[in-house]
Every structure is written in structure tokens, then in C-alpha cells.
Structure 1
Amino acid sequence: MEDGRARLTPMKYLLVGGAIFAMHFGGSSMIWPMTWGKESGSSVFPAFIGIYLTALFFPLLGYLALARSKGTFYTMACKVSTGFGKAFCSIAMLVLGPLFCIPRMSAAAWDAFLQVSGFSPESFVAPLIFSIIYYLITYWFIARKSDAVDKVSKILFPVLVIAVVAVIGKGIMFPLAVQNPKVYTVNAFAYGFKNGYATAELICALVFATIIIDDLRFKGIAEEHINSNLIKVGIIGITMLTLTHLGHMIVGSYTGGIFEDLRYSALYSAVVLKLWGTVGGAIFNIALLFAALTTAIGLAVATANFFQEITNNRVSYKKSAGITLIISAFVTVLGLSSIVELAAPLLDIVYPAGITMTLFYAFIPNLEYREKVFSSYRVAMVVSFIWGIYEGVLTYLKMFRINTGILEVVYNKVPLTSMGLGWIPITCTAIVISLILHRKKNRGIYNQIWNLKE
């Protein structure tokens, strides 16, 4: 304690960093890396480097960007314009919250339970009961915003660590088979880069950072130390996530010869059953349930925070949290495959602008005080968001078998669209044009002033 303000002890740094790890770990970050490892085989390490850049380094930049902006995800977006901020963030939070990511977590946990247990319910009653219990537990964790991070770090985080160490530790010490060659034709780094990009962990980092900032304030950390502490705990959390990704990928790289047709949750459950027998089934269920729960908790708090902020406290945190979980429960009933098919394209709409926002704030100090660069940032945000909408519209047109016509013809002519990265050349072009126009504008003003002096 100094000047009447609290400081984080090493243990508190570890626990808050552990909460960040747990919230990111989720269903996908737990399950996907083992499949990446299996498909990469003997090329697992080059693939991991690609994964690291887009699934781990990007989120770390997200914490840095939000710390440098000295605001929230919403206030960062509103610096483009208030209308833009409301539209962009509302879509992002609805996707991260009740329309996709939260119900995806509970649906994934339910599917994994069915696979390992062999239980085959004949009606909707069993999944409905599971969903109700799941969201009641989630609400208990988030009902008091000041306690949410502590509950995650002290209750869920230790269980996750034990389960993950059990799987990774034994899987590395006693490999299940030999490493096969990679099963894909592209180079391993490109495979890793693309699959890491698809996790969209960066957007989660931008909203989780706000939760951590609130928690640091609840802990009495002085305002001048908030941002530096956010970066430190962000590094701790993402480092833990990096180790688990690498560990799961190494374990998975030895499974290609024995589980050729299995992927994702099916592969993970088969591996833990092979490593630990019936105990492995319990480990898998507990780990996946807790992983899904931690991410749902983080996203529910972030969603409730956002709608409290955007309504200027007219909708309270508790009411927003309750509404978020009720909607999520209804969406969960659709099942995992339907949720992913119907809602996943919405995440692609906001992801390009989220990356653009992060890169500008992370790499350009005092962005808002650099007029020329900040103008380009605003243009880049609008263009990348419009491109995301364009891609989303195309995806839904194809989904409902509606003729895409000229829209798809134009889309296919843009470089990198085959990798889902068409927004990069479009946004970079917009930035260059913006800088050129800004320079010409300033030059014109300069010449006018010079002529007046003469």
C-alpha cells in the first residue's frame, strides 16, 4: 500500500492473469489446438508459430491497445464517430454475447457430455434442464460485478490448470503414437496463421480488458497504475494460454495414426479416454464444462457492461446480465451446429475493424493527437467494417441459396479473399489514399497562407 492506494502482490498478479487465461481458454481454445496438432503432425512447431501470431499475439496486442487508448472498447470505437461506435460495438457484443459465443459455450459442453457419457435424450427436456442449470451457475458468478474475476480466478482457474496439466503432462511423457506428416498441402506456418485468425480471440481481448480494468479499480489500484497493470496481467494470461496451446498441439501431433477421422471435441475426448481411461472421461467433462463456463462468464460480464454503458446506466448491470443469459439460453436450444452456421458470419463482420483498431492503437502512441494518422485510422475503421458487412452479406446469401451475382464476382477479384483476408488490401489502399488526400489538403492550406504572406 502506498499513498493510501493498493498494489497487486505477485499472487494477485497470478490470479488476475489466471482469470484472463481462463476467460480466453473457453471451449474452442481448449479443443481446437489438439486438432491443429494432429493435422500438422511432424510440422507442429512451424504451425504453432502461425497460430501464435494470430491467436495469441493479436490478443496480447488487444490488451496493449486498450491500455493505450485509456478507455473502453466502446469509447475506442466512438472516436471514429458516435454512430459508428454504437453500430459496430452493438453487433460485436451481440455476437460475443447472447447470439453466438455464449450459447456456443454451453452447447459445446452439452455435446461433449453426450459423447463421453453415451446419453441419448429423446426429447428437449434434458438439454433444457442442462441449459437452465448452466446459466443459473453463470449468473451466480456474474451477479456481483466486483466479485466476478475473483470467483473465476479462485474457483474455476485452479480446476482448469489441474485438468490441463493432467492431459498435456501425460500426453507429452507418453505419446499415443508417432508423428505423421502434415495432412494439408499449404505450408505449416500459413495453416497456423489462418486457423489462429479464425479463433477471433482478439475481439474477446478487447472486451475482457474492460472487465480487468474494472476489477483493478475494485481492488483499489490507483488510476495511474491501471494501464500498466493491465498490460502485465495480460502478458501473464496470454503466456499461460500460449503454453496450453503448444502443449495441446504437441499431444495432438502424435494422434494422427490412431484417430484419423476424429477432430475437435471428438478427438479431445478420445485422447483423454486413451490417456486416463474412465477417469479421462470425467477429466474431459469437468475441464470442458469449466472452460466453457469461464468464457461465458467473461462474455456475459462484458455484454452487461456494454449495454449499461451505451444506455448511460438506464439499464442496470444486473438487468442487462439477466437479459443476456435468458436470450443465450433460448439460443442454446438450437444446438451447436445450428448456432455456428447461423451466427458465425456475424463475427466475421466485426473482426476486420477490431484488428484495425488494435493495430493502430498498439503501434502508434498518442494516436488521437496525430491528425493525419488519426484521420487515416477513422477511414480504415469505416472501410474495414463495410468490408466485413460485405462479406457477411455474401455469406448469408450463399447460406440461403440466393444468387450472389456481381457481388461475388467483385469479391473474387480482390487479393487474399481465398484466405478470408480480403479486407487487408482494401483497408491498406484506403489508408494510403487517405494519407495522400490529407497531405494535398494540408499543402493547399499551406500555399494559401504563403500567398497571403507575400
Structure 2
Amino acid sequence: MTTKNKDIIITGFALFAMFFGAGNLIFPPYLGVITGEKFLIGFLGFILADVGLSLLAILASAKSNGDTEIVFKRAGKKFALILGASIMICLGPLLAIPRTAATTFEMGIVSLMPNFNPILFSIIFFSITLLLTIKPSKVVDIIGSYLTPALLVCLLLIIAVGIINPIGNIDKAAIQNVFSEGILQGYQTLDALGAICLSAVLIKSLAQKGYKEEKDRIDILLKAGVVAAIGLTVVYGGLTYLGATVSSVYDVNVSQSSLIVAITSALLKTPGKIILSLIVSLACLTTAIGLTSATAEYFSKATNGRLKYEQLVVGVCIFSLVISNLGVESIIKISAPILSLIYPATIVLIVMTIFKKFVENDNIVKFSTYTALFMGVLMAGNDLGINVPFLEMLPLANLGFCWVFPTFIAGIVGYFIKPNRNKEYEEDEERAV
């Protein structure tokens, strides 16, 4: 095997492990429970919102040579700063990183040691995260070479046992909008948001490995993205099926974090608890390492180095430690309206970055992005109980994409308005090239 192919596999494994964290482990089985015999339709929506958008985000990041600001800046410098910071705070200490620790404790530790102190566990978890993240050049190799293979072996073992010896019968779907529910569950994993920023960490690591040419780094990153996508699709499909096999036992009110514990215990009895504990610990730790590194890299660059990478890693770990003690269910409830708010605008900017050669008018980008953000505000209001009836009347609303049609119309309007070229965006893009 050539050195380049080896690096593609290691980088792909690292990307898989950075993606596969708390949400990736708990959402697919729950989706299987509530979709029952229609689990394949729900799974399709999940893959679209998770793996599909993640691959687009990786492509956008690769085209920007890992510079996340270029992805956002065409909509305006201030907007880029606000949206970029919001995404990184969500991916970092507010939602995603704390959720990794909370999930590890509730699913991996409590089942083995019910009386273990959650605060002490958080301290241990984030101390390990800190030690493995403080040197950014080592992050990818640590995850891709050592942690991911162990994670995959444990996951595939449980899935294989569940396929060979199903726990129960697959029941009818407990919900109506199966496909849109799959999309919503896919959103919750945060992978599409994380892909933009995690790609920056991987590109920096590839440069440190000696890949000086931009085309080589992009080529490796895109192929690594395919490796990660294949792994994620196989594992997601297996976990969704496992959930479907217990759809006659559990309903929509089952705790998401306790569901996979119950499934594993039923399949592998007591040894299953140990295996699950290892899976959860590896999955969540690798994601925490990747996101902590990405968050620190972003804010260090955003402040022009005034905040040092090492200082930010420490700060992220401490803040995440505090939030993690809220518990998994509380963190998931907090995340829903926030994700509804920022996802549409982020998706628009990812698509515009990929097709930037065909979108020369900056007003197309600005009008569509701002409209997507406005629609996100309305969707977040819906999540918080503020009823906005007309959202349900929009095209694609039943699929969870009510924001697409207004955003498309706004882009058309922007096309007919003469643009003022975004000089800062052009300068940054030239530097990336």
C-alpha cells in the first residue's frame, strides 16, 4: 500500500470517528423504533441529512482549502463572523462536546457503575480530551490509527449479532412523516456543521505530513470523505435496523440514551454492557477530540492568534465539562431550536461555495442566505411552541424543507440586482488558492 493510500484510509477513519459521536449512536436506533416497518424510508432521510450534507460540506471546505471563513464570507464579513462563531459554539462547548461526555456517562458508565459520580467522570473525560488535543498535529493519527479500528470492530459485532438473531418483530410505524423525521434526526447529529470545521483540521494535518500541493490535500480529503461516508452508512443502517427489531417493544416515549443499552444487553447479555461501554467511550472521545481541536483552531484564527490554541482547548474543555452535567436529554432539547435556526443558512452557503464558479452575483448569495436565516428563525420559533401556520403550507414542508422555496425565490430576486463585489471575499479566496 502506498503512503498516500494509507493516509487516505487513516484520514477517512479519523473523519468517521470524529463524526460518529453521541448523536450518531443514539439517534438511528430510536429512528428504527418509531419508523418500524418503514425504517428504510426513515433511514434514507437520515442519510440525506447526515452523510449527504456532510459530503457536500467536505467538498465546500476542500474547495476553500480548509478556510472556513471563505465558506461564509461571501454573504458579508460580519455575517460570516456571527454565523461561523455560532456554528463553532454549537459544535464546541454549548452542545456537541458536552453531549459526548453526558452520553458516555449515561450509556457507558452508569450501566457498569451505577453509583459513579458524574462530576468526577466529567473531569476524567475532559482531562483525557485535553491531553489528546493539546498537540493538533497528532489528533488525526491518534484517532485514525488506533481508536477508530477498535470502535468499528465493536459496532459491527453488535450489528452482526442483531441481524443474525433479531430481538423481536418489526412493528408498524408509530409516526406518519417517516422521511421528514429521518431528516430531523439526521440534523441532530450535527455532522453537516462539523464537516466544515473538521475538514480544516484534517487539511492542516495533511500539510504537516508533507502534502504541500493544494490539489493533493483536496484529493486525499475528498477520498477520505468517501471512506467515512461508506462506514457511516453501514453503521447507521445496522443501528436503525436494530431499533426496528424492537419497535413492538418500545414506543416514541422511550429514552434515546437507554434504548441502545437495552438493545445491546438483550443481544449480548452482560458482556454486551462492557462492549457498549467501550463503543460509547471510543465514539464520544474521538468526537470530543476532533471538535475541541476544530473549535480551538477556528477561534485562534478568528482572533488572529490573540487567543492561543492551547488556551482555547483548556477553555473549551472546562466549559464543556460544566454543560455536560445537564444530561443528554436536556442537551438534545436545547439543541433542536438552535439547529433549526442555523442549518438552512449554512446549507445555502455550502451549496454556493461548491458552485461558486456559476454564481458570480454576490446578491444571489446574500439574498438567499439571509432568507434562509429568516426562515430558520421562524422554524426555531415553531420548535419553541410559537406557532407559525404558513410554514406548513410551503412546498416541501412535509419533508422538513419549508425554507427551500422562499430561499430559491430570494436568490432569483438577487440575480436581477446589480452586485457590489465582495473584495474581502475575493482576496481571501486568492490566498486560499
Would you say same fold, with TM above 0.5? yes
| Letter of the 1:217 counterpart | A
2:193 equivalent to 1:203: yes
2:231 to 219, 237, 240: 240
CA distance in 1, matches of 2:81, 2:23: 28
C-alpha change, 1:344 and 1:46, in structure 2 (3 Å) is: closer
| Letter of the 1:47 counterpart | G
CA distance in 1, matches of 2:61, 2:121: 36
Displacement of 1:154 in angstroms is: 2.2
C-alpha change, 1:339 and 1:267, in structure 2 (3 Å) is: closer
Displacement of 1:29 in angstroms is: 0.7
2:118 to 119, 123, 127: 127
What is the match of residue 382 of structure 1? 370
C-alpha change, 1:278 and 1:304, in structure 2 (3 Å) is: same
CA distance in 2, matches of 1:189, 1:334: 30
What is the match of residue 166 of structure 1? 157
CA distance in 1, matches of 2:68, 2:169: 45
C-alpha change, 1:390 and 1:47, in structure 2 (3 Å) is: closer
Helix, strand or coil at the partner of 2:111: helix
2:197 equivalent to 1:217: no
2:265 equivalent to 1:268: no
CA distance in 2, matches of 1:49, 1:420: 14
C-alpha change, 1:161 and 1:229, in structure 2 (3 Å) is: same
1:305-454 equivalences in 2 (<5 Å)? 305-362=297-354, 364=355, 366-367=357-358, 370-372=359-361, 374-392=362-380, 395=383, 398=385, 408=388, 420-438=400-418
Q: TM-score, normalised by structure 1?
A: 0.85
Alignment deviations for residues 235-282 of structure 1 (CA, whole Å, 9 cap, x no partner)? 111111111011112222222234456452222111111111110001
What is the match of residue 424 of structure 2? none
Contact 1:114-1:120 at 8 Å conserved across structures: no
1:252 to 218, 232, 243: 243
Helix, strand or coil at the partner of 1:366: helix
CA distance in 1, matches of 2:186, 2:332: 17
CA distance in 1, matches of 2:392, 2:170: 37
CA distance in 1, matches of 2:8, 2:183: 30
2:221 to 214, 218, 230: 230
Displacement of 1:65 in angstroms is: 1.5
CA distance in 2, matches of 1:117, 1:292: 17
Displacement of 1:323 in angstroms is: 0.8
> Percent identity, aligned pairs only?
26
1:167-182 equivalences in 2 (<5 Å)? 167-182=158-173
| Letter of the 2:175 counterpart | Y
Helix, strand or coil at the partner of 1:185: coil
Alignment deviations for residues 406-436 of structure 1 (CA, whole Å, 9 cap, x no partner)? x846666655567653322221121121123
2:276 equivalent to 1:284: yes
Contact 2:122-2:324 at 8 Å conserved across structures: yes
Alignment deviations for residues 378-424 of structure 1 (CA, whole Å, 9 cap, x no partner)? 3222222233244446655x4xxxxx5xx846666655567653322
| Letter of the 2:75 counterpart | V
C-alpha change, 1:340 and 1:250, in structure 2 (3 Å) is: closer
Q: TM-score, normalised by structure 2?
A: 0.89
CA RMSD of aligned residues (A): 2.5
Helix, strand or coil at the partner of 2:416: helix
CA distance in 1, matches of 2:176, 2:392: 22
Alignment deviations for residues 120-163 of structure 1 (CA, whole Å, 9 cap, x no partner)? 46xxxx11110110000001111100001111112321221121
Worse-matched range after superposition: 238-247 or 263-272:
263-272
C-alpha change, 1:377 and 1:8, in structure 2 (3 Å) is: farther
CA distance in 2, matches of 1:365, 1:342: 34
Contact 2:180-2:399 at 8 Å conserved across structures: no
What is the match of residue 193 of structure 1? 183
Contact 2:168-2:246 at 8 Å conserved across structures: yes
What is the match of residue 109 of structure 1? 104
Displacement of 1:194 in angstroms is: 3.8
Displacement of 1:71 in angstroms is: 4.3
Q: Which runs of 5+ in 2 are unaligned?
A: 421-433
What is the match of residue 448 of structure 1? none
| Letter of the 1:17 counterpart | G
CA distance in 2, matches of 1:279, 1:71: 42
Alignment deviations for residues 316-344 of structure 1 (CA, whole Å, 9 cap, x no partner)? 11111111111111112222233333344
